[in-house]
């Protein structure tokens, strides 16, 4: 039985996962570069200090706010890299599932479900992988009817 639908859905989901993962990596590197450049730029630091003084913050409050901002960005950066790793695992599972779909549809369906969970069930790639997994489990090959009737050499049924 050909499982072209499942294969196409998984390939589209994998391509979308690759694009999303690449975009996330670019965003993580970009935010780190902006943060590093901003904190080392004296003009940016002066402007931040002037704005904080204008809002009535003391030196201690400014240092506390900057420390909180750095901690927050570090946490967000760590979560971003965890998402990148999960996305890469989902990409690999999607590719393996697409390769195995014609040989072992149940294994491919399980791989699609795991990849959907890792990539995010409510994302478009996750939804496509869930649909492909459901198709793997539900679609069965057409069984041929076995004829128990006796026929002669001309193909006529013998009673």
Helix or strand holding residue 55 (H, E)? none
The pLDDT tens digits along the chain (159 residues) read 788 899 999 999 999 999 999 999 999 988 877 777 777 778 877 887 788 778 877 778 877 877 888 888 889 889 999 999 999 999 999 999 999 998 999 999 999 999 999 998 889 999 999 999 999 999 877 665 555 667 777 777 776
pTM of the predicted protein model: 0.75
Q: Which domain holds residue 106?
A: 4-139
Q: Residue 117 falls within a domain, yes or no?
A: yes
Q: Residue 145 falls within a domain, yes or no?
A: no
State residue 30's pLDDT score: 85
Q: Residue 50 falls within a domain, yes or no?
A: yes
State residue 49's pLDDT score: 76
Q: What is the 3-state secondary structure (H, E, C) of 60-106?
A: HHHHHHHHHHHHHHHHHHHHHHHHHHHHHHHHHHHHHHHHHCCCCHH
State residue 145's pLDDT score: 54
Q: Nearest CA to 125 among 1, 36, 3, 21?
A: 21
| Whether the Cβ atoms of residue 136 and residue 101 lie closer than 8 Å to each other | yes
Q: Residue 151 falls within a domain, yes or no?
A: no
| Whether the Cβ atoms of residue 129 and residue 13 lie closer than 8 Å to each other | yes
Q: Residue 119 falls within a domain, yes or no?
A: yes
The number of distinct structural domains making up the chain is 1
How large is the angle between the packed helices 42-54 and 4-40, nearest 10 degrees? 80
Q: Residue 32 falls within a domain, yes or no?
A: yes
Q: Residue 113 falls within a domain, yes or no?
A: yes
State residue 148's pLDDT score: 62
What the block records as the tokens of 56 is 């009535």
State residue 64's pLDDT score: 84
- What CA–CA distance (Å, rounded) separates 17 from 123? 10
Q: Residue 88 falls within a domain, yes or no?
A: yes
């Amino acid at each position: 039985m050909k499982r072209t639908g499942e294969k196409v859905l998984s390939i589209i989901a994998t391509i979308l996962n690759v694009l999303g993962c690449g975009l996330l990596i670019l965003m993580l590197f970009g935010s780190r570069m902006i943060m590093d450049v901003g904190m080392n730029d004296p003009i940016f630091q002066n402007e931040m200090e002037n704005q904080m003084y204008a809002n009535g913050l003391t030196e201690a409050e400014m240092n506390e706010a900057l420390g909180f901002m750095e901690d927050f960005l570090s946490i967000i950066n760590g979560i971003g890299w965890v998402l990148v790793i999960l996305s890469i695992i989902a990409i690999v599972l999607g590719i393996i599932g697409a390769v195995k779909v014609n040989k072992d549809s149940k294994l491919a369906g399980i791989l699609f479900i795991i990849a959907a969970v890792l990539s995010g069930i409510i994302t478009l790639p996750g939804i496509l992988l869930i649909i492909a997994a459901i198709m793997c489990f539900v679609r069965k090959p057409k069984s041929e009817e076995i004829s128990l009737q006796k026929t002669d050499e001309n193909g006529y049924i013998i009673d």
